[in-house]
C-alpha cells in the first residue's frame, strides 16, 4: 500500500462540479492499493499517517503529528501511485490492486483514520474523475510505501 501525503493548509475534492469534501489544515492522503495488501497494511499506514511528526512545533521544527495538532485528513484513492513507467511512454498499472480489493481497503483505511483522535476526515469518491485542490504547506510531501517501511516477518 502506498500513501503520498501532503501537509496542507486546506484541500478539497470536486466531482462533476460538485464539492464532495473539503478539509482545513492537516493532510491530503493519496492512497494506492497493491494486490498483496491487506487490512494489516492499512492499519500500519493509518497509524503512520496519524503519528508522523511533520507539523511544526513552537520552534518551527517538524515535531508534531496530525494527532498532536488535531488536523484534518482528506483521503483520496489514487491507483496511479502504482504506475510502472519502465517501458515505453504510457504507464502500466498492472501493479495496482483490482477495483474490488482496492475499494474495500480504501474504505477500511478511511474507517481507521476516522477512529483516530484527529480533526475531520474527508474523502473522495472511489473510481470517480476527481478534481483535487490543495494548498501544500511547506511544501511537505512524503511517500510512504508499506513494502519498504513495514517490518518483514
**pLDDT tops 90 at residue 70:** yes
- As a whole number of angstroms, the distance between CA 153 and CA 149 comes to 13
Torsion angle in degrees (nearest 10) through CA of 129, 119, 137, 77: -20
In this prediction, residue 69 has a pLDDT band, given cuts at 50, 70 and 90, of very high
| High-pLDDT (> 70) share of the chain, % | 99
Q: What is the pLDDT of residue 151?
A: 80
Please state the domain count of the chain: 1
Residue 100 lies in a domain: yes
- Mean pLDDT for 104-121 is 98
Catalytic residue numbers read: 80
Give the CATH number of the domain where residue 108 resides.
Answer: 3.50.80.10
| CA atoms of 62 and 137, how far apart (whole Å) | 12
Residue 153: pLDDT above 80? no
pTM across the whole model = 0.96
Spatial distance between the Cα atoms of 95 and 23, rounded to a whole number of angstroms:
30
Q: Are 141 and 5 in contact (CB under 8 A)?
A: yes
Q: List the end-to-end C-alpha distance of the chain, in Å, as a whole number.
A: 17
Asked if the model's pLDDT at residue 152 lies above 80, the reply is no
151 in a structural domain: no
Q: What is the mean pLDDT of residues 70-98?
A: 96
Q: Give domain status of residue 64, yes or no.
A: yes
- Close Cβ partners of 37 (under 8 Å, ≥ 6 residues apart): 1, 97, 101, 105, 146
**Which residue segment(s) compose the domain that 35 sits in?**
2-146
Range list of β-strands (E), the chain: 2-15, 18-23, 26-32, 55-56, 62-64, 72-77, 121-123, 130-145
Grid cell of 145 as nine digits: 510505501
**Which sign, positive or negative, has the C-alpha torsion 113, 114, 118, 122?**
positive
Residue 49 lies in a domain: yes
Could you tell me if residue 153 is inside a domain? no
* Mean pLDDT, the chain, integer: 96
Summarised one tens digit per residue, pLDDT across range 8-66 is: 999 999 999 999 999 999 999 999 999 999 999 999 999 999 999 999 999 999 999 99
67 within a domain of the structure (yes/no): yes
Amino acid at each position: 500500500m502506498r500513501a503520498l501525503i501532503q501537509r496542507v493548509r486546506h484541500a478539497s475534492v470536486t466531482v462533476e462540479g460538485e464539492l464532495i469534501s473539503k478539509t482545513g489544515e492537516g493532510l491530503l492522503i493519496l492512497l494506492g492499493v497493491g494486490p498483496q495488501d491487506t487490512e494489516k497494511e492499512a492499519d500500519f499506514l493509518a497509524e503512520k499517517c496519524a503519528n508522523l511528526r511533520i507539523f511544526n512545533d513552537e520552534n518551527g521544527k517538524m515535531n508534531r503529528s496530525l494527532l498532536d495538532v488535531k488536523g484534518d485528513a482528506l483521503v483520496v484513492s489514487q491507483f496511479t501511485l502504482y504506475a510502472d513507467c519502465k517501458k515505453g511512454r504510457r504507464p502500466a498499472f498492472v501493479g495496482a490492486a483490482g477495483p474490488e480489493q482496492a475499494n474495500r481497503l480504501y474504505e477500511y483505511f478511511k474507517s481507521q483514520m476516522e477512529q483516530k483522535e484527529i480533526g475531520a476526515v474527508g474523502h473522495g469518491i472511489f473510481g470517480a474523475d476527481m478534481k483535487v485542490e490543495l494548498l501544500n504547506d511547506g511544501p511537505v510531501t512524503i511517500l510512504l510505501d508499506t513494502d519498504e517501511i513495514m517490518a518483514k516477518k
